[in-house]
């Protein structure tokens, strides 16, 4: 359904008079993956890794520098007006901030109803309101909400309205970018369960972006890990969490707190084996692997060449340990890193 092929996105700063032109920010660097109906791909990575840029590129909210985004076989960067309209119906986004994404002057009936008129051509007020009521029920809100304005809703209720609005036009792909990050834990899990249920019922493809790995684990069938605009690892969720192949994924996983104190100590030790350094700037990326200055097992080649994605048993990994690195002889990267950290 969705296929990204070697996608690059750059932000070019506007040139200020009399000052030298600033370098472009390389926000996405050759991202490729595909997503099918009923599949949920989680996307994780520290802040600034390009997750929102990826969402915006797919939603046509930012320009693509090179590469392709194919939706049902059509390159979305090249759509004519008519196809653009149908693309906007099929691909919907729910973004982080439900406060700014809902028009404060409109009531919920209009917020959820407008896209129904625009994309499905339903103009009759009673038919449209009936549909809005059904959608509100689907997201766990009663029909009383029809006449409420955004300021009369809690954060969780606003996010439910955003989801209802996105689902109103029966999209095939839903992109949720940090859609639950601003909410407290119990509301967050309610929304996740809701998304999961709707996604399964409607066979929606879901791209679920969050910096919280625990949240992603609960919803995603597949997970992609982003670092400085690169997709560095991709694989099935369970295996990616239990046997990560990329050192950066391992570092992210070691940062998740666990209730067991012994396990927590182990994680802390592993976390400390990574070099405490600032990531490079996305407008001045190194020639080699961008994680090299934080990676405890970096080799000479890592500073010279960016590794290509290499197929692993679970998906792919962009790390020299899988290409010209030391032979692992069946040993997992996790164990390898631990051993290196203790020698």
Ligand X SMILES: Nc1ncnc2c1ncn2[C@@H]1O[C@H](COP(=O)(O)OP(=O)(O)O)[C@@H](O)[C@H]1O
Out of 93, 282, 288, 290, name the contact with ligand X by CB under 6 A: 282
Residue 143 binds which one of Mg ion, ligand SF4, ligand X, none, with CB within 5 to 8 A depending on kind? Answer: none
* Contact pick of 3, 5, 8, 11 for ligand X (by CB under 6 A): 11
Q: How many CB atoms lie within 10 A of CB 280?
A: 15
Among positions 254-293, residues that touch ligand SF4 (CB under 6 A) are 289, 291-292
What's the min distance (Å) between Cβ of 213 and ligand X? 14
| Residues touching ligand SF4, count (CB under 6 A) | 13
Pick one of Mg ion, ligand X, ligand SF4, none as the site partner of residue 53 (Cβ within 5 to 8 A by kind). Answer: ligand X
Number of residues binding to Mg ion, judged by CB under 5 A: 2
Cβ contact 139:163 at 8 Å: yes
Kindly state the DSSP code that residue 68 receives in the 8-state scheme.
Answer: E
Nearest approach in angstroms of CB 223 to ligand SF4 is 17
Q: Confirm or reject binding of residue 10 to ligand X (CB under 6 A).
A: no
Q: Cβ 140 to ligand X, closest distance in Å?
A: 28
Strand segments (E) across 150-194: 173-177
Q: Which does 320 bind (CB under 5 to 8 A by kind): ligand SF4, Mg ion, ligand X, none?
A: ligand SF4
Strand partners, 70: 3, 75
Q: Does 33 sit near ligand SF4 (CB under 6 A)?
A: no
Q: Tell me the angle at which helices 155-167 and 108-120 cross, rounded to the nearest 10 degrees.
A: 20
- Token pair in block for residue 341: 């950290």
Site membership for ligand SF4, residue 253 (CB under 6 A)? no
3-class SS letters over 1-52: CEEEEEEEEEECCCCCCCCCCCCCEEEEEEEEEEECCCCEEEEECCCCCCHH
Residue closer to ligand X (CB basis): 45 or 288: 45
Closest CA to 294 of 271, 317, 310, 322: 271
Is residue 156 part of the contact set for ligand X (CB under 6 A)? no
* Structural tokens at position 311: 């197929």
Which partner in ligand X, ligand SF4, Mg ion, none is near 270 (CB below 5 to 8 A by kind)?
Answer: none
Q: Tokens 């859609």 identify what position?
A: 179
Nearest to 69 by CA among 85, 93, 87: 87
- For residues 292-311, which are near ligand SF4 according to CB under 6 A? 292, 295, 297-299, 302, 307
290 binding ligand X? (CB under 6 A) = no
Q: Which stretch binds Mg ion (CB under 5 A): 49-57, 85-93, 167-175, 190-198?
A: 49-57
Residue in 118, 166, 165 with CA at minimum distance from that of residue 145? 165
- In contact, 58 and 175? CB cutoff 8 Å: yes
Instruction: Using the rule CB under 6 A, give the single segment among 50-58, 240-248, 306-314, 320-328 that binds ligand X.
Output: 50-58
In this structure, the number of other CB atoms found within 10 A of the CB of residue 126 comes to: 7
Q: Which stretch binds ligand X (CB under 6 A): 43-51, 65-73, 90-98, 327-335?
A: 43-51
DSSP letter string, 206-275? EEEE-S-HHHHHHH-SEEEEEETTEEEEEEEHHHHHHS--SHHHHHHHHTS--S-HHHHHHHHHHHHTS-
Q: Which of residues 212-251 bind ligand SF4 (CB under 6 A)?
A: 247
Q: Is residue 52 part of the contact set for Mg ion (CB under 5 A)?
A: yes
User: What is the binding site for ligand X (CB under 6 A)?
Assistant: 11, 25, 27, 45, 47-53, 282
User: What is the binding site for Mg ion (CB under 5 A)?
Assistant: 51-52
User: What is the binding site for ligand SF4 (CB under 6 A)?
Assistant: 247, 289, 291-292, 295, 297-299, 302, 307, 319-321
């Amino acid at each position: 359904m969705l296929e990204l092929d070697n996608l690059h996105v750059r932000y070019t700063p506007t040139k200020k008079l009399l000052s030298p032109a600033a370098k472009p920010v390389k926000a996405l660097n050759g991202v490729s993956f595909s997503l099918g109906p009923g599949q949920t791909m989680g996307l994780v990575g520290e802040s600034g890794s390009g997750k929102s840029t990826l969402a915006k590129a797919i939603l046509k909210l930012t320009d693509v520098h090179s590469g392709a985004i194919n939706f049902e076989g059509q390159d979305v960067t090249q759509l004519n007006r008519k196809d653009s309209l149908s693309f906007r119906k099929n691909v919907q986004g729910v973004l982080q901030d439900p406060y700014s994404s809902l028009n404060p002057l409109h009531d919920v009936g209009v917020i959820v109803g407008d896209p129904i008129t625009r994309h499905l051509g339903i103009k009759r007020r009673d038919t449209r309101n009936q549909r809005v009521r059904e959608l509100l029920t689907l997201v766990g809100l009663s029909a009383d909400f029809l006449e409420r304005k955004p300021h009369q809703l809690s954060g969780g209720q606003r996010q439910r309205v955003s989801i209802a609005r996105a689902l109103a036009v029966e999209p095939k792909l839903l992109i949720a970018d940090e859609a639950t990050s601003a909410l407290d834990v119990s509301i967050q899990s309610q929304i996740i369960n809701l998304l999961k249920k709707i996604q399964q019922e409607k066979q929606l493809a879901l791209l679920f972006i969050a910096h919280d790995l625990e949240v992603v684990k609960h919803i995603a069938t597949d997970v992609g890990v982003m670092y400085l605009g690169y997709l560095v690892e991709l694989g099935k969720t369970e295996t990616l969490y239990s046997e990560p192949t990329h050192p950066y994924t391992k570092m992210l996983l070691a940062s998740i707190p666990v209730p067991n104190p012994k396990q927590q100590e182990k994680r802390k030790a592993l976390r400390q084996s990574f070099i405490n350094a600032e990531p490079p700037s996305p407008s001045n990326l190194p020639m080699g692997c961008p994680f090299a200055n934080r990676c405890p097992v970096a080799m000479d080649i890592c500073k010279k060449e960016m590794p290509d994605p290499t197929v692993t048993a679970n998906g792919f990994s962009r790390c020299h340990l899988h290409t010209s690195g030391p032979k692992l002889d069946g040993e997992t990267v996790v164990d390898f890193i631990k051993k290196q950290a203790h020698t």
